[in-house]
Amino acid sequence: MKRQFVSYPKSGRSWLRYALNQLGVDKFIQFHHDSFEFNDGNRPLPNFDFSTRLNIYRRIDRVVYLYREPRDIMVSLYFQIKGRFQDFFNYEGSISDFIRDDYFGAKNLKLFQDQWNQICHMGFAHQISYEQCHDNFSNVLRDVLNYYEFSLPDNQIKNASEAACYEAMKSVESSGSFNQPWLRLRNGYPKVREGKMNNYKHYFTKNDLDYLLSVFDQEANNKIG
């Protein structure tokens, strides 16, 4: 597909995806997690071969990559696996177990982010971040639309940004009125959970935080503070 949107699961893509849906352009974009879907109880291994990944994405016209603070991703993914996807995995471990897990854990996220940062650095994808969305969502949305070569008036972008605020999306999800499954309750658990930055501090012990810092290299440590 000409336009793709790539992110690690629980990087906050529903926020942008909902706004793009409100603008009627989401149907022209393929949203996916680049084989790191984490929605199959058989736990298929994602492809870590960078040359294969590079060969795929260098041929696609427009790729947006969404980055998020990795420790926040780990928290959000843990609650998704334990809640929305409990029927797939029946995961019983603690969050401390989770971040060290060979399949779900931080080491796979580290590899994913390293490879996608490199793809963006090489100019084959346009990188945005969840944190930038919190700073100025309308600007990020406009930037994504321009990159995808969608021309829309400012008032429509403003309206879509307001429709995609946390409270509005939470209300839409809880009502069950949205026409796609990615913004509906599943197993009684919401997709839109807290919508905060740096909330990981409330969930990890010091040992957990030390472990996460040991997983990410010095460059990543500088980036995540």
Per-position DSSP letters for the chain, written without gaps between them: --EEEEE-TTSSHHHHHHHHHHTT-GGGSEEE-TT-----TT-PPPP--HHHHHHHHTT-SEEEEEE--HHHHHHHHHHHHHTTTHHHH-----HHHHHT-TTTSHHHHHHHHHHHHHHHHTTSSEEEEHHHHHH-HHHHHHHHHHHTT----HHHHHHHHHHTSHHHHHHHHHHT--SSGGGS-BTTB-S-----SSGGGGT--HHHHHHHHHHS-HHHHHHH-
What was the pLDDT predicted at 193? 86
What was the pLDDT predicted at 195? 81
What was the pLDDT predicted at 223? 45
Q: Mean pLDDT of successive 10-residue segments in the chain (225 residues)? A: 94 97 97 93 91 95 97 96 95 97 96 97 97 97 98 96 94 92 92 87 94 77 40
Q: Which CATH architecture has domain 3-224?
A: 3-Layer(aba) Sandwich (3.40)
What was the pLDDT predicted at 148? 98
Q: What pTM does this model have?
A: 0.93
